[in-house]
């Protein structure tokens, strides 16, 4: 029903977000290689690999880092289909749009002419676009692996090794938690509207419904944020944030950190030649 | 503070004393000139229909909002905004008084159950090792140790409530304030929560429970205050309050329910309300 797109689309959107969140949390709890490592090792190790892939001037090196990411995904029981849908397809489409003009605009040796228009695709333009896309795919795959194999809250906590202020880490964690809560509330509101709807909803009505829902949700958010602050105060919060850092580095974690750094250094050295 | 006698019941010294306390949200009066004393070590129920001022009273008692006219004293000391500016008073009060909110989602804002329960002690600057030990102990006591690494927003309603209770109980407060502790829980979780509250009898802890679930009052309270539209309209033992059908009907805690039996016979009788489901 085209006229009910606002309601249907919103409910589907909320369900998609919740579904992806559930899938990520389930993957992060699996018994796999990356899941077993300290989040700080993954954060620092992947940062090294990302820098190496982004800085590399050799396609073989970028390909090797990408291959390593796939091996890590398989060892961590992350379905390649998930990476294909959530990273590779989106990354290819988005970066492709940016890279396409480079085919024609970069000066160099023509290797192919576009039918009808006759525009020349240059070897240098093609090479530049392929480099851009492969770097994006590699770095996005590593980033997504970090998020899929680590509970989001642990990723945030691990940011503290990069000297991210505690207060920012706590705010990000709470934001994530309450966004999910609000998505749940919004989904219930739209479903409740859907359950009482008979027939078509005019496009104008649909827009009005969406705006009204946003308003109600905003009101609920304000109420919730006030109550959360009171609950924090009730347990002694006075503006300073204290957290319990319970990560523990084992010999295995140190070994993997050393391996990640060694691989990153090797990739950087080889990629710069 | 000496003990006092109300309606023939000998009560110990008061932990909270309220004199003509009023509170309004914008122009809506939530609490109107309430005067009462909450005896130390007793389990007290605040009874009243929705909107009768119970939750507001709990927030006032916990120093989360402050009375307009009237005074509130905690162990003889006035509970005012100015007093909470003093870190020593604030720490002492927060350690001694804990509030469990009606909606556990409000209270669960940390990434994992373990972090949630550790939040209060961390704010009160307990040593880290002691916190780890006490969190583990509290989770064990409430039979939720298996949830320690779970994010609170993924728990069931009953589990959330237990985590919320654990997050306050870890501070071992002398006074526990509970806002509708059985609201929106399934029957099993309701019964577990009531068992928990019933187990606090004779522990020396003061427990103030706001509820309109009359079925559990005798199990969780030794004394009751009844509110209607922000006014304290009655007080007494659970037996006395629950036996006063007129009072319960007048305050919206009881109403006449007309229904049909299988035989086709139609009749009416007073009917108590349970906590609403969400």
Domain B4-242: CATH architecture, name and number where available: 3-Layer(aba) Sandwich (3.40)
User: DSSP secondary structure string, A124-142?
Assistant: HHHHHHHHHHHHHHHHHHH
pLDDT average, residue stretch A166-192: 79
Query: According to the model, what pLDDT value does residue A68 have?
Result: 96
Collect all residues of chain B within an 8 Å Cβ-Cβ radius of residue A240.
Answer: 123
Point out which residues pair with B226 in neighbouring strands.
B47, B234
Cβ(A22)–Cβ(A146) below 8 Å: no
A228 touches chain B (CB under 8 A): yes
Residue written as tokens 């691989």? A263
pLDDT average, residue stretch A6-18: 70
Based on its alpha-carbon atoms, the radius of gyration of chain B, rounded to whole angstroms, reads 19
Provide the shortest C-alpha distance from residue A37 to chain B (in Å): 16
pLDDT of B51 over the 80 cut = yes
d(CA B256, CA B273): 11
pLDDT average, residue stretch B161-186: 89
Cβ(B196)–Cβ(B208) below 8 Å: no
Residue written as tokens 């909803």? A201
Question: Quick one: which H or E segment has residue A265?
Answer: helix A251-272
CA separation, residue A67 to residues A4, A8, A25, A60 (Å): 45, 40, 24, 10
- Residue A232: CB atoms within 10 A of its CB come to 20
Domain boundaries, chain A: 31-151+246-268
- What residues in chain B have their Cβ under 8 A from chain A's Cβ atoms? 59, 62, 64, 87, 90-91, 94-95, 98-99, 101, 103, 105-107, 109-112, 114-115, 118-120, 122-125, 128, 131-132, 151-154, 167-168, 171
Angle at B274 between CA B268 and CA B277, to 5 degrees: 120
pLDDT of B267 over the 70 cut = no
Query: According to the model, what pLDDT value does residue A118 have?
Result: 80
Query: According to the model, what pLDDT value does residue B226 have?
Result: 94
Where does the pLDDT of residue A224 fall: very low under 50, low under 70, confident under 90, or very high at 90 and above?
Answer: confident
A230 touches chain B (CB under 8 A): yes
CA separation, residue B189 to residues A181, B181, B195, B247 (Å): 22, 10, 10, 29
pLDDT of B62 over the 90 cut = yes
Query: According to the model, what pLDDT value does residue B2 have?
Result: 47
A224–B110 C-beta distance less than 8 A: no
Query: According to the model, what pLDDT value does residue B4 have?
Result: 54
pLDDT tens-digit series, residues B67-96: 788 899 999 999 999 999 888 899 899 999
- Which of A188, A231, A238 best tests the B interface by mutation, with the highest count of B CBs <10 A? A231
Out of A173, A181, A236, closest to residue B105 by CB: A181
Query: According to the model, what pLDDT value does residue A105 have?
Result: 84
Residue scoring higher pLDDT (A104 or B24): B24
pLDDT of B259 over the 60 cut = no
pLDDT tens-digit series, residues A57-69: 999 999 999 999 9
pLDDT of B253 over the 60 cut = yes
Residue A161 is classified by DSSP as: G
Answering whether pTM is above 0.80, one says no
Q: Which residues contact A75 (CB under 8 A, 6 or more apart)?
A: A32, A33, A34
Question: Quick one: which H or E segment has residue B207?
Answer: strand B206-211
Collect all residues of chain B within an 8 Å Cβ-Cβ radius of residue A244.
Answer: 114-115, 118, 122, 128, 131-132
Collect all residues of chain A within an 8 Å Cβ-Cβ radius of residue B114.
Answer: 244, 246
Q: Which residues contact B176 (CB under 8 A, 6 or more apart)?
A: B98, B100, B168, B169, B200, B205, B206, B207, B208
B101–A231 C-beta distance less than 8 A: yes
- Closest CA relative to residue A256, chosen from A49, A87, A30: A49
């Amino acid at each position: 029903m085209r006229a009910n797109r606002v309601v249907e689309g919103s409910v589907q959107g909320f369900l998609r977000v919740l579904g992806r969140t559930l899938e990520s949390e389930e993957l992060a709890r699996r018994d796999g290689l990356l899941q077993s490592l300290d989040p700080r090792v993954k954060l620092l190790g992947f940062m090294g690999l990302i820098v190496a892939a982004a800085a590399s001037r050799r396609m073989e090196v970028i390909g090797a880092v990408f291959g390593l990411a796939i091996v890590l995904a398989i060892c961590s029981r992350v379905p390649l289909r998930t990476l294909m849908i959530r990273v590779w397809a989106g990354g290819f489409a988005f970066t492709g749009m940016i890279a396409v003009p480079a085919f024609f605009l970069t000066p160099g040796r023509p290797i192919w002419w576009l039918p009808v228009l006759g525009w020349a695709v240059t070897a240098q333009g093609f090479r530049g676009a392929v480099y851009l896309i492969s770097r994006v795919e590699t770095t996005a795959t590593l980033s997504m692996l970090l998020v899929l194999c680590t509970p989001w809250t642990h990723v945030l906590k691990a940011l503290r090794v990069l000297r991210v202020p505690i207060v920012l880490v706590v705010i990000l964690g709470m934001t994530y938690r309450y966004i999910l809560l609000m998505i749940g509330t919004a989904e219930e509101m739209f479903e409740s509207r859907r359950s009482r709807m008979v027939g078509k909803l005019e496009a104008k009505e649909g827009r009005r419904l969406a705006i009204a829902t946003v308003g109600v949700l905003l009101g609920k958010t304000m109420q919730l944020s006030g109550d959360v602050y009171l609950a924090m105060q009730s347990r002694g919060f006075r503006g300073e944030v204290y957290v319990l850092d319970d990560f523990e580095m084992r010999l295995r974690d140190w070994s993997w950190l050393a391996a990640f750094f060694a691989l990153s250094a090797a990739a950087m050295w080889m990629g710069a030649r | 503070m000496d003990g006092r006698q109300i309606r023939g019941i000998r009560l110990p010294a008061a932990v909270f004393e309220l004199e003509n306390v009023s509170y309004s949200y914008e122009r809506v009066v939530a609490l109107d000139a309430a005067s009462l004393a909450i005896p130390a070590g007793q389990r007290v129920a605040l009874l009243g229909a929705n909107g009768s001022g119970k939750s507001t009273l709990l927030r006032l008692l916990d120093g989360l909002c402050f009375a307009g006219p009237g005074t509130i004293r905690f162990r003889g000391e006035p509970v005012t905004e100015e007093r909470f500016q003093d870190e020593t008073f604030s720490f002492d009060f927060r350690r001694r008084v804990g509030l469990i909110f009606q909606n556990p989602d409000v209270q669960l804002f940390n990434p994992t159950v373990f972090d949630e329960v550790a939040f209060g002690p961390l704010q009160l600057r307990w040593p880290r090792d002691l916190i780890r030990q006490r969190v583990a102990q509290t989770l064990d006591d409430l039979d939720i140790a298996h949830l320690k690494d779970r994010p609170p927003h993924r728990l069931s309603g009953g589990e959330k409530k237990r985590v919320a209770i654990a997050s306050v109980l870890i501070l071992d407060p002398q006074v526990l304030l509970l806002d509708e502790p059985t609201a929106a829980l399934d029957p099993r979780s309701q019964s577990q929560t009531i068992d928990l509250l019933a187990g606090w009898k004779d522990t020396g802890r003061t427990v103030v429970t706001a509820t309109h679930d009359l079925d559990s009052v005798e199990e969780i309270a030794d004394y009751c205050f009844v509110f209607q539209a922000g006014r304290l309209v009655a007080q007494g033992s659970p037996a006395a309050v629950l036996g006063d059908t007129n009072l319960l009907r007048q305050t919206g805690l009881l109403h006449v329910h007309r229904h049909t039996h299988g035989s086709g016979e139609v009749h009416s009788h007073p009917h108590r309300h349970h906590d609403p489901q969400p």
